[in-house]
Structure 1
Protein backbone atom coordinates (compact mmCIF):
# COMPACT_ATOMS: atom_id res chain seq x y z
CA UNK A 1 0.00 0.00 0.00
CA UNK A 2 2.78 2.43 0.94
CA UNK A 3 4.70 1.44 -2.19
CA UNK A 4 1.66 2.24 -4.38
CA UNK A 5 1.17 5.61 -2.67
CA UNK A 6 4.86 6.43 -3.19
CA UNK A 7 4.61 5.56 -6.90
CA UNK A 8 1.48 7.72 -7.21
CA UNK A 9 3.08 10.70 -5.45
CA UNK A 10 6.38 10.49 -7.31
CA UNK A 11 4.54 10.06 -10.59
CA UNK A 12 2.44 13.16 -9.85
CA UNK A 13 5.49 15.19 -8.88
CA UNK A 14 7.28 14.08 -12.04
CA UNK A 15 4.28 15.04 -14.17
CA UNK A 16 4.08 18.50 -12.58
CA UNK A 17 7.82 19.00 -13.08
CA UNK A 18 7.59 17.95 -16.73
CA UNK A 19 4.66 20.28 -17.34
CA UNK A 20 6.56 23.13 -15.71
CA UNK A 21 9.64 22.43 -17.81
CA UNK A 22 7.56 22.28 -20.97
CA UNK A 23 5.99 25.64 -20.17
CA UNK A 24 9.36 27.22 -19.40
CA UNK A 25 10.94 25.67 -22.48
CA UNK A 26 8.14 26.90 -24.69
CA UNK A 27 8.43 30.38 -23.22
CA UNK A 28 4.74 30.30 -22.29
CA UNK A 29 4.98 30.56 -18.52
CA UNK A 30 2.51 33.30 -17.71
CA UNK A 31 3.33 36.21 -15.47
CA UNK A 32 1.03 38.24 -13.31
CA UNK A 33 0.67 41.48 -15.23
CA UNK A 34 1.69 44.60 -13.36
CA UNK A 35 -0.91 47.37 -13.35
CA UNK A 36 0.03 50.54 -15.19
CA UNK A 37 -3.55 51.81 -15.16
CA UNK A 38 -6.01 50.85 -12.45
CA UNK A 39 -8.74 52.45 -14.55
CA UNK A 40 -7.90 50.14 -17.47
CA UNK A 41 -7.65 47.03 -15.26
CA UNK A 42 -11.07 47.61 -13.65
CA UNK A 43 -12.54 48.38 -17.09
CA UNK A 44 -11.12 45.15 -18.53
CA UNK A 45 -12.51 43.14 -15.62
CA UNK A 46 -15.91 44.84 -15.99
CA UNK A 47 -16.05 44.11 -19.74
CA UNK A 48 -15.52 40.44 -18.94
CA UNK A 49 -17.99 40.52 -16.04
CA UNK A 50 -15.27 39.54 -13.57
CA UNK A 51 -13.88 40.87 -10.32
CA UNK A 52 -10.32 42.19 -10.30
CA UNK A 53 -7.91 40.42 -7.96
CA UNK A 54 -5.36 43.13 -7.26
CA UNK A 55 -2.22 41.94 -5.47
CA UNK A 56 -0.38 44.79 -3.77
CA UNK A 57 3.30 43.89 -3.75
CA UNK A 58 6.82 45.20 -3.41
CA UNK A 59 9.95 44.14 -5.29
CA UNK A 60 11.84 43.23 -2.13
CA UNK A 61 8.97 41.37 -0.46
CA UNK A 62 9.81 37.66 -0.31
CA UNK A 63 6.25 36.83 0.76
CA UNK A 64 4.95 38.63 -2.33
CA UNK A 65 7.18 36.43 -4.48
CA UNK A 66 5.89 33.33 -2.70
CA UNK A 67 2.25 34.33 -3.24
CA UNK A 68 2.90 35.05 -6.90
CA UNK A 69 4.97 31.92 -7.60
CA UNK A 70 2.99 29.46 -5.47
CA UNK A 71 -0.57 30.71 -5.96
CA UNK A 72 -1.19 33.38 -8.60
CA UNK A 73 0.95 31.99 -11.42
CA UNK A 74 -0.38 28.43 -10.93
CA UNK A 75 -3.89 29.92 -11.07
CA UNK A 76 -3.02 31.47 -14.44
CA UNK A 77 -1.38 28.28 -15.70
CA UNK A 78 -4.34 26.09 -14.72
CA UNK A 79 -6.79 28.06 -16.85
CA UNK A 80 -9.44 27.37 -14.20
CA UNK A 81 -9.68 31.04 -13.26
CA UNK A 82 -9.99 32.67 -16.70
CA UNK A 83 -13.77 32.95 -16.35
CA UNK A 84 -13.71 33.72 -12.62
CA UNK A 85 -11.27 36.58 -12.01
CA UNK A 86 -8.82 38.97 -13.65
CA UNK A 87 -5.48 38.80 -11.81
CA UNK A 88 -3.14 41.79 -11.68
CA UNK A 89 -0.48 43.12 -9.31
CA UNK A 90 0.33 46.64 -8.19
CA UNK A 91 3.91 47.39 -7.19
CA UNK A 92 3.84 49.99 -4.42
CA UNK A 93 7.57 50.69 -4.23
CA UNK A 94 8.72 54.30 -4.00
CA UNK A 95 8.83 56.02 -7.36
CA UNK A 96 6.29 53.74 -9.07
CA UNK A 97 3.63 55.83 -10.81
CA UNK A 98 0.26 54.42 -11.86
CA UNK A 99 -2.88 55.75 -13.47
CA UNK A 100 -5.65 55.73 -10.84
CA UNK A 101 -9.37 55.01 -11.30
CA UNK A 102 -9.94 58.52 -12.68
CA UNK A 103 -7.09 58.54 -15.20
CA UNK A 104 -4.75 60.62 -13.05
CA UNK A 105 -1.08 59.56 -12.81
CA UNK A 106 -0.15 59.17 -9.15
CA UNK A 107 2.31 57.30 -6.92
CA UNK A 108 1.21 53.69 -6.46
CA UNK A 109 1.91 54.09 -2.74
CA UNK A 110 -0.86 56.73 -2.52
CA UNK A 111 -3.32 54.35 -4.14
CA UNK A 112 -2.33 51.73 -1.56
CA UNK A 113 -2.89 54.31 1.18
CA UNK A 114 -6.38 55.05 -0.14
CA UNK A 115 -7.20 51.35 0.15
CA UNK A 116 -5.60 51.25 3.65
CA UNK A 117 -3.01 48.76 2.42
CA UNK A 118 -0.08 49.00 4.79
CA UNK A 119 1.63 45.68 4.24
CA UNK A 120 2.48 43.43 1.34
CA UNK A 121 1.28 41.11 0.07
CA UNK A 122 -2.34 42.23 0.29
CA UNK A 123 -4.92 40.87 -2.13
CA UNK A 124 -8.06 42.89 -2.88
CA UNK A 125 -11.11 41.74 -4.81
CA UNK A 126 -12.44 44.79 -6.65
CA UNK A 127 -15.51 45.60 -8.70
CA UNK A 128 -15.74 47.86 -11.75
CA UNK A 129 -15.94 50.97 -9.57
CA UNK A 130 -12.81 49.97 -7.61
CA UNK A 131 -14.77 49.07 -4.48
CA UNK A 132 -13.91 45.96 -2.52
CA UNK A 133 -16.31 43.07 -3.07
CA UNK A 134 -14.90 40.55 -0.59
CA UNK A 135 -12.67 40.28 2.44
CA UNK A 136 -9.08 41.06 1.58
CA UNK A 137 -6.25 38.61 2.15
CA UNK A 138 -3.45 40.29 4.11
CA UNK A 139 0.04 38.85 4.41
CA UNK A 140 0.90 35.26 3.76
CA UNK A 141 -1.39 33.49 6.15
CA UNK A 142 -1.07 29.79 6.72
CA UNK A 143 0.19 28.64 3.30
CA UNK A 144 -1.82 25.41 3.54
CA UNK A 145 -5.06 27.42 3.54
CA UNK A 146 -3.99 30.41 1.44
CA UNK A 147 -5.44 29.07 -1.81
CA UNK A 148 -8.74 28.55 -0.01
CA UNK A 149 -8.72 32.16 1.19
CA UNK A 150 -8.18 33.31 -2.39
CA UNK A 151 -10.94 31.05 -3.74
CA UNK A 152 -13.36 32.26 -1.06
CA UNK A 153 -12.60 35.88 -2.00
CA UNK A 154 -13.14 35.16 -5.69
CA UNK A 155 -16.41 33.31 -5.03
CA UNK A 156 -17.71 36.10 -2.78
CA UNK A 157 -16.70 38.80 -5.27
CA UNK A 158 -18.43 36.97 -8.12
CA UNK A 159 -21.59 36.50 -6.02
CA UNK A 160 -21.67 40.25 -5.28
CA UNK A 161 -21.23 41.06 -8.98
CA UNK A 162 -24.16 38.78 -9.86
CA UNK A 163 -26.57 40.67 -7.57
Structure 2
Protein backbone atom coordinates (compact mmCIF):
# COMPACT_ATOMS: atom_id res chain seq x y z
CA UNK A 1 0.00 0.00 0.00
CA UNK A 2 1.25 3.43 -0.84
CA UNK A 3 1.89 5.77 2.04
CA UNK A 4 0.73 3.41 4.78
CA UNK A 5 2.31 3.98 8.19
CA UNK A 6 2.92 1.19 10.67
CA UNK A 7 4.26 1.61 14.17
CA UNK A 8 7.13 -0.66 15.01
CA UNK A 9 9.77 -0.90 17.69
CA UNK A 10 11.79 1.84 16.03
CA UNK A 11 8.81 4.13 15.41
CA UNK A 12 6.84 4.75 12.21
CA UNK A 13 7.86 2.89 9.08
CA UNK A 14 6.70 3.85 5.63
CA UNK A 15 5.94 1.54 2.71
CA UNK A 16 8.85 1.34 0.29
CA UNK A 17 8.82 3.86 -2.51
CA UNK A 18 10.08 2.63 -5.86
CA UNK A 19 11.75 4.74 -8.47
CA UNK A 20 11.98 4.19 -12.18
CA UNK A 21 14.60 5.74 -14.43
CA UNK A 22 13.51 8.78 -16.42
CA UNK A 23 13.83 8.43 -20.18
CA UNK A 24 16.97 10.10 -21.50
CA UNK A 25 17.25 8.47 -24.94
CA UNK A 26 14.49 6.24 -26.30
CA UNK A 27 16.74 4.77 -29.04
CA UNK A 28 19.31 3.66 -26.44
CA UNK A 29 16.65 2.42 -24.01
CA UNK A 30 14.83 0.58 -26.80
CA UNK A 31 18.05 -0.98 -28.05
CA UNK A 32 18.87 -2.38 -24.59
CA UNK A 33 15.33 -3.74 -24.18
CA UNK A 34 15.22 -5.35 -27.61
CA UNK A 35 18.66 -6.93 -27.13
CA UNK A 36 17.17 -8.59 -24.03
CA UNK A 37 14.20 -9.79 -26.09
CA UNK A 38 11.83 -7.46 -24.26
CA UNK A 39 9.62 -4.52 -25.17
CA UNK A 40 10.52 -1.17 -23.66
CA UNK A 41 7.85 -0.38 -21.10
CA UNK A 42 7.22 3.36 -20.82
CA UNK A 43 5.19 4.68 -17.91
CA UNK A 44 3.76 8.14 -18.50
CA UNK A 45 3.29 9.57 -15.02
CA UNK A 46 2.33 12.75 -13.25
CA UNK A 47 3.91 14.21 -10.12
CA UNK A 48 1.84 13.51 -6.98
CA UNK A 49 -0.52 11.17 -8.86
CA UNK A 50 -1.65 8.47 -6.39
CA UNK A 51 -2.46 5.97 -9.15
CA UNK A 52 0.99 6.55 -10.67
CA UNK A 53 2.58 5.81 -7.30
CA UNK A 54 0.49 2.65 -7.00
CA UNK A 55 1.57 1.37 -10.43
CA UNK A 56 5.21 2.38 -9.90
CA UNK A 57 5.53 1.01 -6.34
CA UNK A 58 3.52 -2.19 -6.64
CA UNK A 59 3.86 -3.31 -10.25
CA UNK A 60 6.48 -1.75 -12.53
CA UNK A 61 9.06 -0.90 -9.86
CA UNK A 62 9.28 -4.44 -8.50
CA UNK A 63 9.30 -5.93 -12.01
CA UNK A 64 12.10 -3.57 -13.01
CA UNK A 65 14.15 -4.28 -9.87
CA UNK A 66 13.52 -8.01 -9.47
CA UNK A 67 12.95 -9.24 -13.04
CA UNK A 68 15.04 -6.68 -14.96
CA UNK A 69 11.99 -5.57 -16.94
CA UNK A 70 13.11 -2.64 -19.12
CA UNK A 71 11.03 0.29 -17.85
CA UNK A 72 11.47 4.04 -18.18
CA UNK A 73 9.30 6.85 -16.94
CA UNK A 74 8.17 9.93 -18.85
CA UNK A 75 6.85 12.87 -16.85
CA UNK A 76 3.57 14.04 -18.36
CA UNK A 77 4.25 17.71 -17.66
CA UNK A 78 8.01 17.53 -17.39
CA UNK A 79 10.42 19.49 -19.52
CA UNK A 80 13.25 17.01 -18.97
CA UNK A 81 15.19 16.45 -22.16
CA UNK A 82 15.22 13.13 -23.96
CA UNK A 83 15.63 11.76 -27.48
CA UNK A 84 12.57 10.39 -29.29
CA UNK A 85 12.53 7.05 -31.10
CA UNK A 86 13.54 8.77 -34.35
CA UNK A 87 16.63 10.30 -32.75
CA UNK A 88 15.33 13.86 -32.34
CA UNK A 89 15.96 15.87 -29.18
CA UNK A 90 12.70 16.61 -27.40
CA UNK A 91 11.13 17.00 -23.97
CA UNK A 92 9.05 14.61 -21.92
CA UNK A 93 5.97 16.82 -22.33
CA UNK A 94 6.41 16.82 -26.12
CA UNK A 95 6.63 13.01 -26.19
CA UNK A 96 3.37 12.80 -24.24
CA UNK A 97 1.69 15.10 -26.77
CA UNK A 98 3.11 13.14 -29.72
CA UNK A 99 1.78 9.91 -28.21
CA UNK A 100 -1.61 11.61 -27.54
CA UNK A 101 -1.56 10.45 -23.92
CA UNK A 102 -4.30 12.15 -21.90
CA UNK A 103 -4.37 10.15 -18.64
CA UNK A 104 -1.73 9.31 -16.05
CA UNK A 105 -0.65 6.67 -15.58
CA UNK A 106 -0.51 5.33 -19.11
CA UNK A 107 1.83 2.45 -19.85
CA UNK A 108 3.11 1.93 -23.39
CA UNK A 109 4.90 -1.13 -24.75
CA UNK A 110 7.40 -0.18 -27.45
CA UNK A 111 9.17 -2.30 -30.02
CA UNK A 112 11.46 -1.57 -32.98
CA UNK A 113 11.40 2.05 -34.11
CA UNK A 114 9.32 3.04 -31.10
CA UNK A 115 6.23 1.32 -32.52
CA UNK A 116 3.64 0.24 -29.96
CA UNK A 117 3.53 -3.56 -29.88
CA UNK A 118 0.70 -4.01 -27.36
CA UNK A 119 -2.39 -2.13 -26.32
CA UNK A 120 -1.79 0.70 -23.89
CA UNK A 121 -2.65 0.25 -20.26
CA UNK A 122 -4.51 3.41 -19.25
CA UNK A 123 -5.32 4.37 -15.67
CA UNK A 124 -4.42 2.73 -12.41
CA UNK A 125 -7.35 0.77 -11.04
CA UNK A 126 -5.83 -2.02 -8.98
CA UNK A 127 -8.74 -4.46 -9.26
CA UNK A 128 -7.18 -6.51 -12.05
CA UNK A 129 -4.08 -4.44 -12.83
CA UNK A 130 -1.61 -7.32 -12.49
CA UNK A 131 -3.60 -9.46 -14.92
CA UNK A 132 -3.95 -6.59 -17.42
CA UNK A 133 -0.23 -5.85 -17.20
CA UNK A 134 0.69 -9.52 -17.67
CA UNK A 135 -1.58 -9.74 -20.74
CA UNK A 136 -0.05 -6.64 -22.31
CA UNK A 137 3.47 -7.92 -21.69
CA UNK A 138 2.55 -11.27 -23.23
CA UNK A 139 1.04 -9.47 -26.24
CA UNK A 140 4.17 -7.33 -26.64
CA UNK A 141 6.55 -10.29 -26.35
CA UNK A 142 4.55 -12.26 -28.94
CA UNK A 143 4.68 -9.29 -31.32
CA UNK A 144 8.46 -9.08 -30.91
CA UNK A 145 8.88 -12.83 -31.45
CA UNK A 146 7.21 -12.47 -34.75
User: Which TM-score bucket, shorter chain as reference?
Assistant: 0.7 to 0.9
2:28 alignment partner, one of 30, 34, 40: 40
TM-score after normalising by structure 1 = 0.73
For residues 101 and 76 of structure 1, the distance between their equivalents in structure 2, rounded to whole angstroms, comes to 21
Deviations 1:73-113 (A, max 9, x none): 2223443xx3xx41221112242222111222212112111
Deviation, structure 1 residue 71: 1.1
Where does residue 103 of structure 2 map in the other structure? 119
> Are 2:112 and 1:128 equivalent residues in the alignment?
yes
Q: Give the unaligned 5+ runs of structure 2.
A: 1-12
For residues 58 and 40 of structure 1, the distance between their equivalents in structure 2, rounded to whole angstroms, comes to 23
1:154 alignment partner, one of 123, 137, 145: 137
Flag the structure with larger Rg.
1
Higher strand share: 2
1:147 partner SS: helix
Deviations 1:98-154 (A, max 9, x none): 21112222121121111111111000111021111111110112x131011111000
Higher helix share: 1
Where does residue 81 of structure 2 map in the other structure? 97
RMSD: 2.0
TM-score after normalising by structure 2 = 0.80
Q: Residue 106 and residue 154 in structure 1: after superposition, are their counterparts in 2 closer, same or farther (change >3 A)?
A: same
Displacement over 3 Å in runs of 4+:
none
1:129 partner SS: helix
Q: How many residues align?
A: 132
Q: Give the unaligned 5+ runs of structure 1.
A: 1-20
